[in-house]
Amino acid sequence: MEGKDRILISSIRNGTKSKWAIVICSVILLVFFLVSILAPWIAPHDPIQVNLALKLSPPSWEYPLGTDHLGRCNLSRLLYGARISLGFASLIFVASLGVGLLVGTIAGYRGGWIDLFLMRFCDGVMAFPNLVLVLGIVGLLGPGLWQVVLALMMVQWVYYARMIRGMVVSMKEQNFITAARISGSSTGKIIRRHMIPNVLPPIMVMGTLEMGWAIMDISALSFLGLGIQPPTPEWGTMIQEGKNFIRNQPELMLYPGLMILFVVISFNVLGESLSERYGVKRRY
Amino acid sequence: MVIYLTKRLLAVIPIILFAIFLMFLLIRLSPVDPAEAYLAAANIHPTEELLAEKRQEFGLDQPLIVQYFQTVKKIVLLDFGNSYVTNSPVWQEVAARMPATIQLAVSSILLSIIVSIPLGFLSAVYKNSLIDHFSRLLSYLGASVPQFWLGYILIFFFSVKLDLFPVEGRGTWQHFVLPSLTLSLALIAIYTRLLRASVLEELEEVYVLYARTRGVKEKAIMVKHVLRIAISPMLTGLGMNLGKLLTGTIIVEQVFSWPGFGRFFIEAIFNRDIPVIQSYVVLAACLFIVCNLIVDIVQLYLDPRISWKGRTEY
């Protein structure tokens, strides 16, 4: 298990190729975030407005991407879907980072039996295949969006905690921390002012990759019927609904899938380029 | 070697105990009362007496620590209790569905190995060539495409448009093609990258230079020396990504109506069939741990530089 979470901050390598990848992916993701925030203003229709007279209609000026089996505007549903995916992925990221920071710094800074206990706990959680545990938790808590968010968070924080603990342990011995301690900084101040700012950049890189995973997981769970429940527009649920019309209107399931692919690929390329550039090792 | 193996095997026990503990904790923490869930699944109207009777039968009236050790004891004996829905032993139900899932998993692992070894190897040897770019594109796609969507895309092209393969079910070899393809793309993406990276690393090693100066044929160096060692990280990846494969089978079984363990598990979640949920999570964790152990042992044979002794500290 060791080594998987060890971070190597090697010298900064510059490649113009990865620089462009970072710029392009950041712009794409920024657009997606903007869309998800502005969805109520830019969507042409109400995403859950049913209009059976217009069901499965082809693209028109009023409905640029046509309508689904209940006559709802596809474009509006896709735009609102960005809201759910990006919004909840961000929430999971922030929440698990918060828990991970807390546990990781305590374990790393305190050491001793607290460290041992917390890290053994993390090892135990990591012994499960990730999504299997998530499914187990959702299974016991019952299907639903908040259960999914809670379950994903409960599994994700472990990786942050592990990584942060490793960094804190190696940082603890360095001169600048000793200097801070000698000059009378309190433990809280050392952690807040010296450790966390150093820990965050590589964690953000890892978080970029985790965001992609979270979006995939949310959509997969919704597809299985365990996450977001209809009629809320969500990409995974839209694929689940659209698959029934695969013969006549394959675009119903095509569009939401392309959205997921596009967002996740941007997160992955961005995360990988960043980790290559700043020498942060990713976990597989 | 014997000492190493015993040590590794002994180290597995606390992890499995912890896995069972975590599952036990989750069941106790969840708002669902097993007795109520049982009666709901069996369509029996819950009365106070029935609930109390069931609670006693499940041992819910005993202290938690006793309950935990009883759970452990039962699981060791492969007794996961009776399914709330079918009322037959969970282990029987699981054993009946396991072969289908294992076949699917094995065929996708094989497919991904067959594709990713040559692809990863060639893209490292011919770095920045066309094949390297192709493999990079494939691995980005494979890592980012939602599996359920990929499944339907394949169904659309190969079943609806071209009518080559059946849409769902299990039976002939044609039934295997689309599900395995769906499952293996994500694995191919990872293994290709892992192998490429490790081959590139090995090519820098001194022994390659030495073999070249000795006049060993390039082909022999590549296959006999480099590939043999470079494959090691890929094997670790194989073990570590087993979880991805397992959850992948759940999704793919759902898409292709494959009668396996994964679909049974999803049904169990909807029915609140706690024994089945517990059995899946515990078995998946055990499988994951055991496979990682096997991978570590296989690695020892492949890479002569890792000594048996050196690894005992793990």
Angle at A32 between CA A29 and CA A35, to 5 degrees: 150
Nearest residue in chain A measured CA to CA from B159: A247
Instruction: Give me the pLDDT at residue A283, please.
Output: 46
For residue B150, pLDDT beyond 60? yes
Report the gap between the CA of B38 and the closest CA in chain A (Å).
Answer: 13
Nearest residue in chain A measured CA to CA from B136: A269
The verdict on whether omega for the bond into residue B233 sits within 30 degrees of 0, i.e. cis, is no
Cβ–Cβ under 8 Å, residues A87 and A220: no
Q: Residues B69-99: pLDDT tens digits?
A: 777 777 777 777 777 777 778 788 888 888 8
Report the gap between the CA of A127 and the closest CA in chain B (Å).
Answer: 6
**Amino acid identity, residue A62?**
E
Interface of A with B in 205-244 (CB under 8 A): 212, 216, 219-220, 223-226, 236, 239-240, 243
Instruction: Give me the pLDDT at residue A7, please.
Output: 35
For residue B5, pLDDT beyond 80? no
Residue B210, strand partner residues: none
Nearest residue in chain A measured CA to CA from B244: A129
Cβ–Cβ under 8 Å, residues B176 and B127: no
- 3-class secondary structure, B82: strand
Mark yes or no for CB contact B32/A140 under 8 Å. Answer: yes
- Partner residue opposite B247 with nearest CB, options A120, A129, A139: A129
Q: Residues B238-264: pLDDT tens digits?
A: 777 777 788 788 888 888 888 888 888
Task: Report how far apart, in Å, the C-alpha atoms of A215 and of each of A77, A218, A268, B144, B187 are.
Answer: 17, 5, 11, 10, 19
Q: What is the ipTM of this complex?
A: 0.78
Report the gap between the CA of B221 and the closest CA in chain A (Å).
Answer: 28
Instruction: Give the best residue of B247, B288, B290 to mutate against chain A (max A CB count within 10 A).
Output: B247
Instruction: Give me the pLDDT at residue A99, please.
Output: 92
DSSP A130-148: HHHHHHHHHHHH-SSHHHH
For residue A5, pLDDT beyond 70? no
Average pLDDT of span A52-69: 71
Q: Residues A169-215: pLDDT tens digits?
A: 888 888 888 888 888 888 888 888 888 888 888 888 888 888 888 88
First to last CA, chain A: 12
Q: Residues B169-209: pLDDT tens digits?
A: 666 777 777 888 888 888 888 888 888 888 888 888 888 88
Query: The tokens of B96 are what?
Result: 């009946």
Q: Residues B96-131: pLDDT tens digits?
A: 888 888 888 888 888 988 998 889 888 888 888 888
Average pLDDT of span B143-147: 86
Instruction: Give me the pLDDT at residue A1, please.
Output: 31
Mean pLDDT across chain A: 79
| CA nearest neighbour of A16 among A24, A6, A28 | A24
For residue A4, pLDDT beyond 60? no
Give the residue, B259 or B160, on which the prediction is more confident: B259
Mean pLDDT across chain B: 79
Mark yes or no for CB contact A132/B246 under 8 Å. Answer: yes
Which residues have a Cβ under 8 Å from the Cβ of B31 and sit 6 or more positions away? Answer: A141, A142
Residues in chain B: 314
Instruction: Give me the pLDDT at residue B310, please.
Output: 46
- Partner residue opposite A127 with nearest CB, options B144, B246, B288: B288
Instruction: Give me the pLDDT at residue A270, please.
Output: 87
- 3-class secondary structure, B127: coil
- Partner residue opposite B144 with nearest CB, options A141, A243, A261: A261
Task: Report how far apart, in Å, the C-alpha atoms of A53 and of each of A45, A66, A72, A87, B104 are.
Answer: 15, 13, 10, 32, 43
Q: Residues B6-43: pLDDT tens digits?
A: 877 787 788 778 878 877 777 777 766 777 777 776 67
Rg (CA), chain B: 24
Nearest residue in chain A measured CA to CA from B268: A139
Instruction: Give me the pLDDT at residue B178, please.
Output: 83
Neighbours of B308 (CB within 10 A): 13
Report the gap between the CA of B216 and the closest CA in chain A (Å).
Answer: 34
Residue B67's pLDDT band (boundaries 50, 70, 90)?
Answer: confident
Query: Chains A and B: how many Cβ contacts under 8 Å?
Result: 147
Instruction: Report d(CA A272, CA A282) in Å as an integer.
Output: 8
Interface of A with B in 104-133 (CB under 8 A): 120, 123-125, 127-133
Residue A54's pLDDT band (boundaries 50, 70, 90)?
Answer: low
Strand segments, DSSP code E, in A130-274 are none
Is the Cα dihedral A46, A49, A51, A54 positive or negative?
Answer: positive
Rg (CA), chain A: 22
